[in-house]
């Protein structure tokens, strides 16, 4: 009986397998010279890597797989040898903060910069029914907010920087990441470098649990940005990749840079800041090839965004394990695409293109990948100045206006939202949320119950309602009694 | 009295006895002139019952409206529903109590409460499914969503490029492998727990009970550490299938155990009494009797295994390409694809994510329907085809037997007794 | 006086060879021996897989447990540092896990019970199959979708309900929502991401399992006893109460235990909703709770070796607790009538 009943199931599985093989053969075979390359790591960079993976598949028939499981998981995978490359915001930790064994890779490796971006501070503040879109904060105020030293929006330090706004007496709700995250690492690195007296914990991927007991902790960039973007999130502020508030049409804080200007994390401003990024060239140091961003944070350029950084790709520099020369050739071509043509789309994706100094540094490392055929850096063939070339005046709107020119309705909507920031007509983002301007209904009004009466005193309508209620109750209770009496008769 | 008299009396009919005037049984005659009692129809609900229900509903609505609109400063649609429900139940109890006794009131109240539970479950499900499908409609309305892969589609591409065919194939392959391992292993283990028993069986039962609470992420970490790091060195669909198996197995065993326990003992004993061996009893009596329950057990395990993201996150890897080889290379499945899509900042990726979730729900539902079709019938209930075949065989048996008895010579007496046919 | 009718017969001479003693052990046929071997093998493989997971948990968690010692059970923070004994402990995490599971079961048990009875006793056949499919559909929804729905839809609508409960029933300590200074909080941000909301979502996830198992048990209640109860004049509810429920006790408890297992181990939905804290929070409506599986999911990606070991130790603790609960439940189930013989 059971054998008979398994037959249809077996037939179903066989049919699926046949269909699957048909589908597999219908996919165009990749170019004979490329092999499949797999990597894992940073979720911060996964948006960009997904787009680049798709571009190389489209343009060259190259197959690259990337799993966004987290920077530490990526580094661990690289150490174990289960992936061909890893992407991480922080290098291998020689002295992990919790006293466990240092991360040491038996495979020789190199770091190269691939994706740059700014840490954006997304906030949700409503004054008299209108959403605030031009909040300005200094780095010190930001650090104090995220250590709990400034806890209300109308704190004099914040009010002093925003003379045009009457800030409400509301509690600031900081929203931080509950999972280990590269955004936390980059944010805490900036705080610990610039304001070590206020932020004493140093750089960490896990926002400390004992700091900020009143903070909300949400998982993932989606969680933190979703919390702030919700109606319940009025008064909250968080740090997140710029692509999220950009996609949601939400405003971000304009942070004061070393020149005293308040700038937003647009692609141009981040790229300008990163021109002062340096790479550790000391071969004997354990931090060889890692980033030195102290000059970036205090870049004197008037348009530089201080909280800028980039993430690394960790590539093997020797054949072994799963890594072969053919994979090295494919990986080399992929990285070359990423740091050159791929950077054109960085702005649209919410990141920033790598400045030339970092591109040159990347090329130096690509040549160390066994099997790569990428030559020396050639400024003419590697042009990544796409949309970032249009200079935007410092300050001003928070969204990347020019970079929104590429396809994708979301980017365009965000651009419109920013441009319309000061008009009074309501502007909505892709999800229909009110971004700026006054809506007809006056924004968040008090919840009105669905069945209120106009006046509260005893008037004609109230009498009518009372009579109607009594009639209904009578209509419900009386007939059964009448029917019972009729039956008995 | 003599024996003859008594015997004659026994042969009397009652009417004789009555007419004789001496029988001990009196047959009463119906008094004249009484009308026939009305026919009682037990199946249909009386008008009053419907009136009770409708009236109580109205009363609930009205009182809630009154409280929320005028008398008390309550607000919110949920509070309105709760107050209306409470008043409805109270008024209904009163109305039923007007005509019937306490037992009937308790009966009807219980029915109302059970119906409420069903309605709440239905509503919650509708909310969740509608929400998913509603947010996924932008992606679902493009046919390329079902046949293309994400190989040529990235975060900036509009919705008419790209699809999830690779994830669908990945899910089917992974769940196929997992089912191939779990169904035989789980059901045989459940049979072991019930039929053979003993201290080792108790130990197995305890361990599998504890495993039902295993966090799914631990199953993934286990497979990653044990299988991937030590054996295969790369993420693959097979590793994900093993992780899913580890999640599914305890549930299938537990549910099948509960269900096999329900098979009445007397069926088993009857089978033993007829001389069947242990395994034959299990094969022909126990398993067919509990077939619909075993289908439920497999379905519950599949539901858990197919919808879990965390075990496959660590073990299967993420890819945008079609991969039909479970032993090499990352193979993505639908729940992981949902997770990856919705984490993205681009709204069309989020729409794709919800569309993938809707496709997953549909896929699992169709698997369930198939499983219930295969195994859902109760014990002994035959499908139409089986009934026809059984009738056919019986007809053949009848012809064979009548032939044999007709042509049977006495020398062949004690001939073949009808053997038990295989069902 | 001696009666000539009764004659006493002396016992016969016993034979020198005694009658062979017959052994009462059954001699299994070859197929039965194969069957026993196969069953034992299946049980052995199952136990091997499960013990492998348990051994894996213990082995990986051993390092952290050795470093923390018994303080692992009562410390309320999570900052694992090798060599610092009081740096991490599961008190708060385990408390949160149990809180979420209890809330989920409290919400889902009446619903599952009512729905299972509805399907097996009350609904006519045509609607029954549709309702079974609908409950299966609920089991088909992936957990990540429940998490998303919980965060983006349910939370907005549940926060006013939580606010109302805390303002009306705030005199019960569990339902109060107070800040660190004891003053009660009323703003919405104090009610989001709480154990209550996570419990509601998890309740919906364990509902289909519970319902299906209870339904299977109820539908097997013997027809003879049902009809007997009805013939003796009981109402339908009386028949259910006296015949079906005692019979189905094994199914009720079995289904609930499976639901509890799922509720304790649910990862993705919980991790998307809650805002993790590392102190024991008795106020279930207030923001902040934790769960072992969410903790592991949130931290494994960025944890070093020792951190991972601490997470595995937490997983082991959960595993042991489930063992104890299930052991108690199965001893109750073993004494129930489900499966006992009846004259049906």
* Residue range A409-449, pLDDT digits in tens: 333 333 333 333 333 444 444 433 444 444 333 333 333 33
Q: What is the largest CA-CA distance in chain B?
A: 113
Q: Does residue C266 sit within a domain? A: yes
Smallest CA–CA distance, residue B309 to chain C, in Å, is 7
Q: How many residues are there in chain A? A: 489
DSSP class of C92? H
Q: Does residue C124 sit within a domain? A: yes
Task: State both tokens at B216.
Answer: 């799914």
Smallest CA–CA distance, residue A265 to chain C, in Å, is 26
Task: Give residue B167's pLDDT band: very low, low, confident or very high (50, 70, 90).
Answer: very high
Q: Which of A253-262, B404-413, C61-70 has the highest mean pLDDT?
A: A253-262
Q: Does residue C53 sit within a domain? A: no
Phi (first) and psi of residue C18, to 5 degrees: -70, 155
Q: How many residues are there in chain C? A: 344
> What are the strands of the beta sheet with A262-263, ordered from one edge?
A136-137, A254-256, A262-263
Q: Residue C337: how many CA atoms within 13 Å on its side-chain side?
A: 14
Q: Which of A293-297, B297-301, C117-121 has the highest mean pLDDT?
A: C117-121
- Asked if B299 and B368 touch (Cβ cutoff 8 Å), the reply is yes
The pLDDT, as a whole number, for residue A456 is 52
**Is residue A362 predicted with pLDDT exceeding 50?**
yes
- Asked if C132 and C183 touch (Cβ cutoff 8 Å), the reply is no
Name which of C136, A427, C307 is nearest B300 in CA terms: C136
The pLDDT, as a whole number, for residue C203 is 95
The pLDDT, as a whole number, for residue B244 is 92
- CA A257/CA A264 separation, integer angstroms: 10
DSSP string, C124-174: -HHHHHHHHHHHHHHHHS-HHHHHHHIIIIIHHHHHHHHHHHHHHSTTSGG
The pLDDT, as a whole number, for residue A400 is 34
- CA C217/CA C202 separation, integer angstroms: 23
Helix (H/G/I), strand (E/B), else coil: B51: helix
Phi (first) and psi of residue A176, to 5 degrees: -125, 170
pLDDT tens sequence across C91-114 = 899 999 999 999 999 999 999 999
**Is residue B375 predicted with pLDDT exceeding 90?**
no
> What are the strands of the beta sheet with A109-124, ordered from one edge?
A64-67, A37-41, A85-88, A308-316, A109-124, A236-241, A173-177, A216-218
Task: Give residue B72's pLDDT band: very low, low, confident or very high (50, 70, 90).
Answer: low
Mean pLDDT, chain C, as a whole number?
A: 84
Subunit partners of chain A (3 or more CB pairs within 8 A): B, C
User: Same domain, yes or no, for B129 and B253?
Assistant: no
Q: Does residue B192 sit within a domain? A: yes
**Is residue C73 predicted with pLDDT exceeding 60?**
yes
Single residue among B126, B141, B156 that ends a domain in this structure: B141
Q: How many CB atoms lie within 10 A of CB B306?
A: 27
CATH number at residue C236: 1.10.3720.10
The pLDDT, as a whole number, for residue A426 is 45
From chain C, the residues in CB contact with A220 under 8 A are: 272
Q: Does residue B278 sit within a domain? A: yes
Would the CB atoms of C275 and A73 count as touching at under 8 Å?
Answer: no
Mean pLDDT of A6-10: 58
Least confident of A280-294, A420-434, C237-251: A420-434
pLDDT tens sequence across A157-212 = 998 988 888 888 888 989 998 877 788 888 998 998 889 898 888 888 888 877 78
User: Same domain, yes or no, for B314 and B203?
Assistant: yes
**Is residue A355 predicted with pLDDT exceeding 60?**
yes
The pLDDT, as a whole number, for residue A42 is 86
Mean pLDDT of B193-221: 83
Q: Does residue B14 sit within a domain? A: no
The pLDDT, as a whole number, for residue B34 is 65
- CA C241/CA C249 separation, integer angstroms: 11
Q: Does residue C293 sit within a domain? A: yes
Mean pLDDT, chain B, as a whole number?
A: 83
User: A450 or B197, which is more confident?
Assistant: B197
CATH number at residue B311: 1.10.3720.10
Percent of chain C at pLDDT above 90? 24
**Is residue B327 predicted with pLDDT exceeding 80?**
yes
From chain A, the residues in CB contact with C84 under 8 A are: 99
Mean pLDDT of B20-34: 73
User: Same domain, yes or no, for B319 and B217?
Assistant: yes
Which residue segment(s) compose the domain that C140 sits in?
A: 96-310+322-334
Q: How far is CA B36 from the centre of its chain?
A: 48
- Asked if A317 and A371 touch (Cβ cutoff 8 Å), the reply is no
Pairing between β-strand A236-241 and β-strand A216-218 as defined by DSSP bridges: unpaired
Query: What Cα–Cα distance (Å) separates residue C232 from each residue in A268, B40, B105, B107, C239?
Result: 86, 19, 18, 16, 10
Name which of B173, B172, B317 is nearest B234 in CA terms: B317
Q: Please state the pTM of the whole predicted model.
A: 0.76
Name which of A349, A387, A89, A145 is nearest A242 in CA terms: A349
Phi (first) and psi of residue C184, to 5 degrees: -80, 145
Residue of B nearest to C328 (CA): B206
**Is residue C207 predicted with pLDDT exceeding 90?**
yes
Query: What Cα–Cα distance (Å) separates residue C90 from each residue in C73, C292, C315?
Result: 6, 8, 10
Residue of A210, A219, A231 to mutate for C, most C C-beta atoms under 10 A = A219
Into how many domains does chain B fold?
A: 2
- CA B326/CA B239 separation, integer angstroms: 8
DSSP class of B33? T
Single residue among B352, B375, B398 that ends a domain in this structure: B375
Mean pLDDT of A393-402: 32
Q: Does residue B190 sit within a domain? A: yes
Task: Give residue A389's pLDDT band: very low, low, confident or very high (50, 70, 90).
Answer: very low
Subunit partners of chain C (3 or more CB pairs within 8 A): A, B
Smallest CA–CA distance, residue A27 to chain C, in Å, is 29
Mean pLDDT of A70-96: 83
Smallest CA–CA distance, residue A60 to chain B, in Å, is 11
User: B291 or A25, which is more confident?
Assistant: B291
Would the CB atoms of C319 and B214 count as touching at under 8 Å?
Answer: yes
**Is residue A133 predicted with pLDDT exceeding 60?**
yes
User: Same domain, yes or no, for B251 and B342?
Assistant: yes
User: Same domain, yes or no, for B99 and B204?
Assistant: no
User: Same domain, yes or no, for B105 and B230?
Assistant: no
pLDDT tens sequence across A455-465 = 455 666 777 77
User: C13 or B281, which is more confident?
Assistant: B281
Q: Which of A208-217, B308-317, C43-52 has the highest mean pLDDT?
A: C43-52
Mean pLDDT of B357-380: 79
Mean pLDDT of C63-88: 82
- CA B159/CA A381 separation, integer angstroms: 32
Which position has the token pair 């003053």? C183
Q: Does residue C69 sit within a domain? A: no
The pLDDT, as a whole number, for residue B14 is 55
The pLDDT, as a whole number, for residue B395 is 94
DSSP string, C173-192: GGG--B-TTSPBP-SGGGTT
Residue of A nearest to C192 (CA): A232
The pLDDT, as a whole number, for residue C224 is 93
DSSP class of C72? G
- Taking each helix axis from N to C terminus, what angle separates B102-140 and B347-375, rounded to the nearest 10 degrees? 130
The pLDDT, as a whole number, for residue B410 is 56
pLDDT tens sequence across C160-174 = 888 888 888 888 888
Q: Does residue B31 sit within a domain? A: no
The pLDDT, as a whole number, for residue A272 is 87
ipTM, two decimals: 0.82
User: Same domain, yes or no, for B129 and B196?
Assistant: no
User: Same domain, yes or no, for B170 and B130?
Assistant: no
User: C344 or C264, which is more confident?
Assistant: C264
Q: How far is CA C183 from the centre of its chain?
A: 37
Q: How many CB atoms lie within 10 A of CB A244?
A: 27
User: A423 or B2, which is more confident?
Assistant: B2
Which residue segment(s) compose the domain that B209 sits in?
A: 165-375
Mean pLDDT of B34-45: 67
Would the CB atoms of C298 and A100 count as touching at under 8 Å?
Answer: no
Phi (first) and psi of residue A54, to 5 degrees: -70, -35
User: Same domain, yes or no, for B296 and B174?
Assistant: yes
- CB contact, 8 Å: C188 with chain A? yes
Q: Does residue C228 sit within a domain? A: yes
User: Same domain, yes or no, for B264 and B332?
Assistant: yes
Q: Which of A252-266, A279-293, A417-431, B297-311 has the highest mean pLDDT?
A: A252-266
The pLDDT, as a whole number, for residue B355 is 92
Q: How many CB atoms lie within 10 A of CB B115?
A: 15
Into how many domains does chain C fold?
A: 1
pLDDT tens sequence across B342-352 = 888 888 888 99
Query: What Cα–Cα distance (Å) separates residue C6 from each residue in C1, C3, C10?
Result: 12, 6, 13
DSSP class of C97? H
- Taking each helix axis from N to C terminus, what angle separates B102-140 and C125-140, rounded to the nearest 10 degrees? 50
From chain B, the residues in CB contact with A55 under 8 A are: 154
Name which of A285, A314, A287 is nearest A71 in CA terms: A314
């Amino acid at each position: 009986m059971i054998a008979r009943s398994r037959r249809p199931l077996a037939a179903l599985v066989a049919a699926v397998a046949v269909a699957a093989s048909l589908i597999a053969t219908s996919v165009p075979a990749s170019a004979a010279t490329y092999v499949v390359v797999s990597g894992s790591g940073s979720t911060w960079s996964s948006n960009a890597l997904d787009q680049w993976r798709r571009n190389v598949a489209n343009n060259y028939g190259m197959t690259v797989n990337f799993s966004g499981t987290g920077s530490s998981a990526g580094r661990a995978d690289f150490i174990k040898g289960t992936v061909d490359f890893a992407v991480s915001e922080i290098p291998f930790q020689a002295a992990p903060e919790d006293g466990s064994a240092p991360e040491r890779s038996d495979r020789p490796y190199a770091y190269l910069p691939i994706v740059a971006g700014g840490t954006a501070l997304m906030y949700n503040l409503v004054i008299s029914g209108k959403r605030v879109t031009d909040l300005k904060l200094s780095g010190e105020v930001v650090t104090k907010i995220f250590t709990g030293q400034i806890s209300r929006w109308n704190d004099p330090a914040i009010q002093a920087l925003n003379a045009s706004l009457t800030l409400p007496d509301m509690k600031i709700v900081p929203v931080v990441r509950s999972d280990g995250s590269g955004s936390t690492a980059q944010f805490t690195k900036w705080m610990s470098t610039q304001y070590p007296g206020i932020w004493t914990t140093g750089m960490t991927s896990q926002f400390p649990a004992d700091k900020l007991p009143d903070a909300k902790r949400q998982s993932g960039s989606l969680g933190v940005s979703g919390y702030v973007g919700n109606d319940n999130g009025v008064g909250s502020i968080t740090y997140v990749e710029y692509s999220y508030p950009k996609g949601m049409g939400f405003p971000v804080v304009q942070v004061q840079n070393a020149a005293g200007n308040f700038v937003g994390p647009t692609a141009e401003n981040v790229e300008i800041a990163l021109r002062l990024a340096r790479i550790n060239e000391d071969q004997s140091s354990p931090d060889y090839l890692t980033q030195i961003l102290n000059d970036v944070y205090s870049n004197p350029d008037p348009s530089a965004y201080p909280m800028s950084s980039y993430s690394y790709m960790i590539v093997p520099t020797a054949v072994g394990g799963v890594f072969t020369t053919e994979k090295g050739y494919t990986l080399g071509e992929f990285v070359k695409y990423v740091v050159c043509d791929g950077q054109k789309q960085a702005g649209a994706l919410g990141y920033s293109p790598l400045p030339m100094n970092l591109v040159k540094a990347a090329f130096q490392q690509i040549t160390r990948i066994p099997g790569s055929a990428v030559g020396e850096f050639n400024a003419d063939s590697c042009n990544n100045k796409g949309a970032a070339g249009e200079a935007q005046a410092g300050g001003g709107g928070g969204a990347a206006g020019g970079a929104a020119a590429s396809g994708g309705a979301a980017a365009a909507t965000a651009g419109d939202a920013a441009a319309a920031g000061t008009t009074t007509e309501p502007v909505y983002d892709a999800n229909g949320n009110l971004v700026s301007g006054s809506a007809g209904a006056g924004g968040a009004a008090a919840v009105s119950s669905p069945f209120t009466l106009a006046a509260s005193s005893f008037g004609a309508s109230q009498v009518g309602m009372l009579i109607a209620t009594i009639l209904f109750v009578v209509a419900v209770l009386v007939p059964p009694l009448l029917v019972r009496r009729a039956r008995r008769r | 009295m003599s024996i003859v008299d008594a015997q004659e009396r026994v042969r009397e009919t009652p009417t004789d006895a009555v007419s004789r005037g001496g029988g001990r049984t009196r047959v009463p005659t119906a008094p004249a002139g009484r009308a026939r009692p009305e026919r009682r129809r037990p199946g249909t609900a009386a008008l009053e019952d419907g009136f009770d229900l409708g009236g109580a509903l109205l009363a609930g609505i009205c009182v809630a409206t009154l409280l929320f609109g005028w008398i008390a400063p309550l607000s919110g649609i949920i509070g309105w529903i709760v107050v209306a429900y409470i008043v409805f139940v109270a008024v209904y109890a009163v109305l039923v109590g007007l005509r019937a006794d306490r037992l009937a009131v308790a009966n009807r109240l219980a029915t109302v409460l059970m119906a409420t539970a069903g309605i709440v479950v239905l509503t919650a499900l509708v909310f969740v499914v509608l929400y998913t499908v509603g947010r996924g409609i932008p992606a679902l309305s493009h046919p390329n969503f079902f046949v293309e892969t994400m190989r040529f589609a990235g975060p900036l591409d509009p919705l008419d490029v790209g699809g999830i065919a690779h994830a669908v194939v990945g899910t089917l392959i992974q769940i196929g492998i997992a089912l191939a391992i779990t169904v035989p292993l789980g059901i045989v283990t459940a049979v072991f727990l019930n039929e053979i028993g003993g201290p080792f069986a108790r130990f197995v039962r305890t361990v599998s009970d504890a495993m039902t609470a295993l966090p799914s992420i631990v199953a993934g970490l286990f497979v990653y550490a044990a299988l991937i790091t030590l054996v295969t060195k790369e993420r693959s669909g097979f590793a994900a299938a093993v992780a899913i198996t580890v999640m599914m197995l305890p549930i299938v065993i537990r549910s099948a155990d509960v269900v096999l326990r329900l098979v009445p003992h007397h069926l088993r004993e009857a089978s033993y009494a007829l001389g069947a061996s242990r395994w034959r009893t299990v094969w022909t009596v126990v398993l067919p009797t509990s077939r619909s329950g075993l289908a439920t057990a497999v379905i519950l395990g599949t539901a858990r295994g197919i919808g879990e993201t965390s075990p496959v996150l660590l073990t299967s890897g993420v890819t945008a390409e079609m991969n039909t080889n479970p032993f090499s290379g990352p193979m993505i499945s639908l729940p992981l694809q949902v997770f990856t899509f919705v984490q993205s900042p681009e709204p069309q990726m989020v729409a794709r994510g919800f569309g993938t979730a809707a496709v997953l729900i549909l896929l699992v539902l169709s698997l369930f329907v198939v499983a219930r079709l295969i195994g859902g019938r109760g014990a002994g209930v035959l499908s139409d085809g089986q009934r026809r075949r059984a009738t056919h065989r019986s007809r053949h048996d009848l012809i064979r037997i009548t032939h044999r008895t007709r042509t049977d010579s006495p020398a062949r007496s004690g001939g073949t007794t009808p053997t038990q046919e295989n069902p | 006086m001696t009666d000539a009718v009764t004659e006493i017969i002396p016992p016969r001479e016993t034979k020198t060879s005694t009658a062979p003693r017959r052994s009462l052990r059954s001699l299994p046929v070859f197929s039965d021996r194969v069957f026993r071997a196969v069953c034992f093998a299946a049980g052995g493989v199952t136990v091997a897989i499960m013990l492998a997971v348990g051994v894996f948990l213990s082995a990986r968690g051993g390092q952290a447990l050795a470093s923390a010692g018994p303080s692992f059970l009562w410390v309320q923070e999570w900052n694992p540092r090798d060599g610092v004994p009081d740096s991490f402990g599961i008190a708060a995490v385990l408390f949160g896990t149990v809180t979420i599971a209890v809330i989920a079961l409290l919400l889902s048990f009446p619903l599952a019970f009512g729905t299972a009875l509805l399907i097996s006793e009350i609904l006519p056949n045509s609607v029954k199959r549709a309702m079974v499919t609908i409950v299966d559909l609920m089991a088909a929804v992936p957990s990540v979708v429940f998490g998303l729905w919980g965060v983006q839809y349910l939370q907005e609508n549940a926060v006013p309900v939580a606010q109302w409960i805390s303002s009306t029933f705030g005199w019960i300590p569990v339902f109060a929502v107070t800040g660190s200074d004891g003053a009660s909080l009323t703003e919405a941000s104090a009610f989001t991401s709480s154990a209550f909301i996570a419990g509601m979502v998890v309740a919906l996830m364990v509902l289909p399992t519970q319902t299906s198992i209870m339904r299977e048990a109820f539908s097997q209640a013997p027809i003879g006893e049902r009809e007997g109860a009805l013939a003796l004049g009981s109402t339908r509810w009386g028949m259910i109460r006296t015949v079906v429920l005692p019979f189905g006790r094994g199914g009720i408890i079995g289904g609930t235990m499976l639901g509890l297992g799922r509720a304790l181990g649910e990862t993705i939905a919980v991790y998307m909703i809650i805002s993790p804290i590392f102190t024991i929070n008795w106020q279930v409506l207030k923001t902040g709770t934790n769960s072992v599986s969410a903790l592991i999911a949130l931290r494994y990606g960025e944890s070093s070796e020792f951190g991972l070991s601490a997470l595995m130790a937490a997983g082991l603790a959960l595993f042991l607790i489930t063992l104890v609960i299930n052991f108690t439940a199965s001893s109750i189930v073993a004494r129930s009538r489900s499966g006992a013989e009846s004259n049906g």
